[in-house]
Amino acid sequence: MYQVVVVALWAMLPAYLPNSAAVLGGGGKPIDGGRRLGQRRILGDGKTWRGTAVGTAAGAVLALALNLAQPTVAGMSSVDVPRFPPAAVLSLPFGAMLGDIVASFLKRRTGKERGAAFPLVDQLDFVVVALLLTFAGSPDWFLTHFTPPVLFVVVLTTPLIHVFSNVTAYVLDLKSEPW
């Protein structure tokens, strides 16, 4: 049980960091260039090129750092924490950013303004796309490490971690809404 939780958190860390990094590093030109689809913005000012690049880079650097630490951690803890193959180094953080962008697209189509809460979609959008993209890029690696119990823990704990980190960012005045 404890092994499953450790593997789940380890394997998802490169997908968890990008959202926070985008909040810190975001700004500048919006991806949609201000364009609209009907009445509403395609994505809105909350999705920028710089935020997406900074978020993806931060998650990739974290994955590489975890790869360096992996032999030591696996040896000391006897938990078989994974090493990220090159494709997963990119697909976990980029998938997370893409999921967040898809969610903003859906928010605008359903009439939600920038910053509006979209319960469950806000908490899981990035996980779903990070996992799908990683399965597409590294299927064998994905199936070896993201076993059904690991996936269960990911889906259960991610919303809690997401809520906690966003409330923290709100309290620290880094973010204007606590979600």
Site residues for ligand CTP per CB under 6 A: 22-23, 26-27, 44, 46-48, 51-52, 97, 100-101, 104, 107, 114-116, 175
Token digits of residue 71: 């032999």
Give the CA angle between residues 139, 142, 144 to the nearest 5°: 110
CB closer to ligand CTP, 3 vs 165: 165
- Nearest-Å Rg of the Cα atoms of the chain is 17
CB closer to ligand CTP, 81 vs 97: 97
- Rounded Cα distance between 113 and 41, Å, is 9
Q: How far is the CB of 27 from ligand CTP (least distance, A)?
A: 6
Q: How far is the CB of 116 from ligand CTP (least distance, A)?
A: 6
Task: Count helices and strands (H / E) in the chain.
Answer: 6, 2
Q: 163, 94, 88: which is closest to 124 by C-alpha?
A: 163
Q: How far is the CB of 100 from ligand CTP (least distance, A)?
A: 5
Q: How far is the CB of 123 from ligand CTP (least distance, A)?
A: 11
Q: 36, 27, 44, 30: which is closest to 114 by C-alpha?
A: 44
CB closer to ligand CTP, 62 vs 150: 62
CB closer to ligand CTP, 26 vs 82: 26
